[in-house]
C-alpha cells in the first residue's frame, strides 16, 4: 500500500510539473495549467512528448498519462493558469542556426528573429542546401549533442525549416536530432513550432516541402526548354554569344572564378555593348552549355 501511495504521489507531481509549461506542439498549444488536447477538442489521454520533456526529470520518459482528475476524453476547457507558469526550466540551452544560400543574401532577418526569441548562441553560414557538408550546421549539432549528454535540455532553433533543408534531407536531420534527444524548433513557416520528427504532421509537411522544390525546378526547366525551342532568349535580351562562350569555357578550364571570368569578357551587342557581363550571366551561360552537352550525349547513346 505504501508503494501505491508513493506511485500516486509521483504521478500527481508529474502532471503538475508538465502543466507548468505551455504545450509547444502547434496542433495543441494549450496554455500552462491545462491538460493537452486532441485535434477534435477533447482532453488527451497522455501529454504530448514535446511538452512533458520540458521537465528535466521526464526528459527520457516514453509517455506521461493525463490523470483521471483531468477527465481524459471529455470536452477540453481551459483551466486557470498557475502563477508560477512560464518560467524557463533549469538547464535549458537554445542553440540557433541561420543560413543563406548565396554570399549576397543577408542573414539579418534570421539573426534578428533568433535574438528576439532569446537565442544567444548562433551558428551561421552562407552555403547552398545542396552542399554535402555544411560546417556551421555540423558544429551546431555537435555542440547540441555534447550539451545534451551533460544532462541539460537542448533545442536547436531555426528561423524557418527551409534553412535546414527540405524533404528527405530535413526529415533525416530531424530524426538524427531526435535520436540524440535534442529538440527542434522553427520560428516561422509551415512547420512553425516544436514538432515531433516521427509525427505524421511533421513527416507530411517535410515531404511536401521537398516536392515543392522539385516541382518548381521541373517547371522552370520545362519553361526554359520550351523557350529555347521557339528561339526565345531566357531572362530578357541575351548579352552572350558564341565567342563569349568559347572564351568563358577556356577560362573555366584554367579554374578561374566566375567573377574573374566575367571581368575578362566583354559584351559585343545591345544596350550594354562594351560592358562586362555579370558573374550570374556567365554562370547561366556555362550552365546552359553544360546542360546542352549532356542532352546531346544522351541522344547519341
DSSP readout, 22-71? Answer: ----TTT-PPTTS--B-TTSBB-SB--HHHHTTSGGGTT-S--BPPGGG-
Residue 102 to residue 99: CA distance in whole angstroms? 9
Which one, of 64, 68, 44, 42, lies nearest residue 52 by Cα? 64
- Given the residues 26, 101, 180, 238, the one annotated as active site: 101
- Residue 101 among the catalytic residues: yes
Alpha carbon separation from 9 to 62, 132, 253, 259 (Å, rounded): 19, 51, 74, 69
Catalytic residues: 101
Amino acid at each position: 500500500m505504501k508503494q501505491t501511495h508513493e506511485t500516486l504521489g509521483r504521478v500527481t507531481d508529474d502532471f503538475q510539473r508538465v502543466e507548468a509549461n505551455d504545450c509547444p506542439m502547434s496542433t495543441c498549444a494549450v496554455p500552462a495549467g491545462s491538460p493537452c488536447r486532441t485535434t477534435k477538442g477533447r482532453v488527451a489521454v497522455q501529454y504530448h512528448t514535446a511538452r512533458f520533456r520540458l521537465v528535466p526529470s521526464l526528459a527520457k520518459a516514453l509517455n506521461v498519462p493525463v490523470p483521471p482528475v483531468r477527465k481524459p476524453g471529455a470536452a477540453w476547457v481551459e483551466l486557470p493558469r498557475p502563477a508560477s507558469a512560464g518560467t524557463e526550466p533549469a538547464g535549458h540551452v537554445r542553440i540557433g542556426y541561420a543560413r543563406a544560400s548565396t554570399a549576397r543574401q543577408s542573414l539579418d532577418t534570421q539573426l534578428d528573429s533568433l535574438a528576439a526569441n532569446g537565442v544567444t548562441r548562433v551558428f551561421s553560414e552562407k552555403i547552398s542546401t545542396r552542399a554535402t557538408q555544411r560546417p556551421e550546421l555540423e558544429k551546431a549539432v555537435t555542440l547540441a549533442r555534447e550539451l545534451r549528454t551533460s544532462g541539460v535540455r537542448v533545442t536547436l532553433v531555426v528561423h524557418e525549416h527551409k534553412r535546414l533543408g527540405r524533404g528527405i534531407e530535413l526529415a533525416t536531420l530531424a530524426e538524427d536530432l531526435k535520436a540524440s534527444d535534442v529538440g527542434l524548433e522553427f520560428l516561422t513557416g509551415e512547420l512553425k513550432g516544436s514538432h515531433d520528427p516521427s509525427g505524421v504532421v511533421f513527416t507530411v509537411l517535410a515531404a511536401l516541402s521537398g516536392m515543392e522544390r522539385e516541382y518548381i525546378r521541373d517547371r522552370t526547366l520545362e519553361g526554359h526548354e520550351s523557350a529555347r525551342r521557339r528561339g526565345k532568349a531566357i531572362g530578357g535580351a541575351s548579352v552572350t554569344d558564341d565567342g563569349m562562350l568559347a572564351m568563358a569555357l577556356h577560362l573555366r578550364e584554367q579554374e578561374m572564378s566566375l567573377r574573374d571570368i566575367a571581368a575578362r569578357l566583354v559584351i559585343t551587342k545591345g544596350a550594354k555593348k562594351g560592358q562586362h557581363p555579370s558573374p550570374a550571366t556567365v554562370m547561366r551561360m556555362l550552365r546552359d552549355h553544360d546542360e546542352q552537352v549532356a542532352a546531346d550525349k544522351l541522344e547519341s547513346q
